[in-house]
Structure 1
Amino acid sequence: MKDNRIGIMGGTFDPIHYAHLFIAQTALDELNLDKILFIPTGRPPHKRENIITDACKRIDMLKLAVKSNPKFDISTIEITRGKTSYTIDTIRELQQYYNKGTEFYFIMGSDAFKYIETWKNYKELLKIAKFVVMTRQVLRNGLLDEKIRFLTKERDANIKKIEIPFLDISSTIIRKRVKEGNPIKYLLPENVEKYIFDNGLYME
Structure 2
Amino acid sequence: MRNEKEVKVRMNEPNKKMPFAEPKQGSRRVVVMGGSFNPPTLAHLRLMRAAVDALGAEKGIFVPSNHAYVERKMRRQRQEKEVLPEDMRLEMLAAMCKEDSRLAVDTCEYGRDPSAKTFETMETIQEKYPEAELYFVAGGDKLAVIPRWHRKEEFLQRFRLLVTRREGTSPESVIEKQPFLKQHADAFVLLAEPEGIENISSTRVRSLLRAGDERVAEQLHPLVWEILLREGRLNRNADITSFRGAYDFLSNFYATPVEYEGLVYQNAEAAFQAQKCLDRPEREGFCELPANRAKRLGRQVKLRGDWEEIKTELMLEIVRAKFTQNEELAARLLATGDRRLVEGNTWHDVFWGVDQRTGQGENHLGRILMQVRNELKERAAGEK
The TM-score range, normalised by the shorter chain, is 0.7 to 0.9
Give the conservation status (yes or no) of the 8 Å contact 1:127–1:157: no
- Listed as ranges, the matches of 1:1-204 within 5 Å are 4-42=28-66, 43-44=68-69, 47-48=73-74, 50=80, 52-99=83-130, 101-140=131-170, 143-146=173-176, 150-151=179-180, 153-155=182-184, 157-164=186-193, 165=195, 167-183=198-214, 184-201=216-233, 203=235
Across the two proteins, how many residue pairs are aligned to each other?
Answer: 201
Quickly say closer, same or farther: Cα 1:151–1:29, change in 2 above 3 A: farther
Shift of 1:200: 1.8
Superposed CA RMSD in Å reads 2.5
> Residues 57-96 of structure 1: CA distance to partner in whole angstroms, max 9, x if unpaired?
1101101111111000000000132543310111122222
Tell me the TM-score normalized by structure 1. 0.87
Q: Give the unaligned 5+ runs of structure 2.
A: 1-25, 239-384
Identity %, equivalent residues: 25
Q: Which has the higher contact order (CA 8 A, sep 6+)?
A: 1
Question: Could you tell me how far apart the structure 1 residues matched to 2:164 and 2:230 are?
Answer: 33
Question: Could you tell me how far apart the structure 2 residues matched to 1:82 and 1:140 are?
Answer: 35
SS at match of 2:73: coil
Q: One-letter code of the match for 1:75?
A: D
Q: One-letter code of the match for 1:162?
A: L
Shift of 1:102: 1.5
Give the conservation status (yes or no) of the 8 Å contact 1:8–1:39: yes
Question: Could you tell me how far apart the structure 2 residues matched to 1:196 and 1:3 are?
Answer: 38
Quickly say closer, same or farther: Cα 1:102–1:90, change in 2 above 3 A: same
Higher mean Cα deviation, 162-171 or 176-185?
A: 162-171
Question: Could you tell me how far apart the structure 2 residues matched to 1:138 and 1:155 are?
Answer: 24
Question: Could you tell me how far apart the structure 2 residues matched to 1:188 and 1:147 are?
Answer: 37
Tell me the TM-score normalized by structure 2. 0.48
SS at match of 2:34: strand
Quickly say closer, same or farther: Cα 1:74–1:3, change in 2 above 3 A: farther
